[in-house]
């Protein structure tokens, strides 16, 4: 049976919180879906034996993407589809993180910066791995955007599952020496490509300035970020070349359908439920 801890927390604390805090419609809709899931509020159906021996009432699900009661089947089905796309080779998990200094710009231009992030990551990987010095071939990649961190605060980052090799036009080439590319090489190339793309968008007036930020301040920020170290992580996937569950479990770490409201978060909220009001964040984007 699915856990109802989140529903209990929402039923206990959300009405008071909603009365004292302005919330966008998508948050209110999400909370309504989660509170109503598998209850009489959404209706239901009766499962019965034709001879009348057994009868059970099943309430309908909300099917909201953030609902921990509904999403497990969707997660399993999505992971199975992604597993079928994986090649029988080693894979590397690469994480590209947008600096927190750009969070305000992200909030004002989420769609545009998401596109920049995807393109910068692929441009960097295809350029470096296309260099005969490192591989000399075109790799495969599945990329997933996460916009929150473990504490559900804004933390845009890209999870990429990259093949440990590539196609050079004639044959498959595996990476040498057991590693993809050095992280010390990846970081500055990725940083340069992303900042150049953001600067180009700024010059073309394609981005909206965040409140209380002027154009000179944004240019100074971009210049300063060009001299800082960025967070780029490369990890070889364990058992990545083996078929079956190992690859699925690893890829679950970069699953686009993973929930922001996890079991551990629900436990932390439950421990704080004695407070007069608990803040529950529902991530829908």
Query: What single string gives the DSSP state of each residue in the chain?
Result: ----HHHHHHHHHHHHHHHHS---HHHHHHHHHHHHTTSGGG-EEEEE-TTSS-EEEEEPP---TT-TTTHHHHHHHHHHHHHTT--SS-EEEEEEE--GGGHHHHHHSHHHHHHHHHHHHHHHHHHHHHSTTTT-SEEEEEEEEEEE-TTSSEEEEEEEEEEEEEE-SSSEEEPSTT-SS-HHHHHHHHHHHHHHHHHHHHHTT-SPPPTT--HHHHHHHHHHHTTS---EEEEEPTTTTS-SHHHHHHHHTT-TT--SS-HHHHHHHHHTTTSS---------
Count the domains in the chain.
Answer: 2
122: containing domain: 84-252
Better-predicted residue by pLDDT, 66 or 214: 214
Report pLDDT digits (tens) over 140-188: 988 888 888 777 788 899 988 898 889 998 999 988 877 788 888 899 9
Residue 285 pLDDT more than 80?
no
Residue 261 pLDDT more than 90?
no
Is 176 found in the same domain as 41? no
Is 246 found in the same domain as 117? yes
Residue 202 pLDDT more than 80?
yes
Residue 126 lies in a domain: yes
> What percentage of the chain has pLDDT greater than the value 90?
31
Is 30 found in the same domain as 108? no
Report pLDDT digits (tens) over 209-234: 998 899 999 999 999 999 999 988 88
Is 243 found in the same domain as 112? yes
pTM of the model: 0.73
Mean pLDDT of the chain: 80
Residue 283 lies in a domain: no
Is 99 found in the same domain as 32? no
Is 174 found in the same domain as 138? yes
Is 160 found in the same domain as 55? no
Is 174 found in the same domain as 42? no
Is 108 found in the same domain as 36? no
């Amino acid at each position: 049976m699915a856990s109802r801890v989140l529903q209990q927390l929402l039923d206990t604390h959300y009405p008071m919180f909603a009365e004292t805090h302005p919330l966008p419609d998508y948050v209110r809709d999400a909370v309504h879906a989660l509170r109503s899931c598998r209850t009489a509020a959404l209706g239901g159906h009766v499962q019965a034996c034709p001879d009348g021996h057994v009868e059970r009432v099943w309430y309908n699900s909300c099917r909201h993407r953030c609902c921990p009661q509904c999403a497990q089947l969707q997660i399993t089905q999505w992971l199975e589809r992604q597993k079928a796309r994986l090649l029988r080779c080693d894979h590397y998990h690469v994480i590209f993180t947008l600096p927190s200094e750009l969070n305000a710009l992200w909030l004002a231009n989420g769609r545009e910066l998401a596109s920049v992030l995807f393109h910068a990551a692929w441009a960097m990987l295809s350029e470096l791995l296309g260099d005969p010095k490192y591989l000399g071939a075109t790799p495969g990649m599945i990329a997933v955007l996460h916009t929150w961190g473990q504490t559900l605060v804004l933390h845009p980052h890209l999870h990429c599952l990259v093949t440990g090799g590539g196609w050079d036009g004639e044959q498959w080439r595996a990476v040498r020496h057991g590693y993809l590319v050095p992280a010390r090489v990846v970081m500055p190339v990725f940083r340069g490509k992303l900042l150049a793309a953001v600067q180009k968008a700024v010059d073309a007036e394609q981005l909206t300035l965040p409140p209380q930020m002027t154009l000179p301040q944004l240019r100074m920020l971009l210049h300063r970020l060009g001299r800082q170290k960025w967070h780029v992580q490369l990890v070889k996937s364990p058992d990545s070349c083996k078929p079956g569950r190992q690859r699925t479990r690893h890829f679950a770490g970069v699953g686009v359908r993973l929930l922001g409201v996890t079991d551990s978060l629900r436990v932390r909220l439950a421990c704080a439920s004695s407070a007069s009001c608990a803040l529950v964040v529902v991530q829908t984007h």
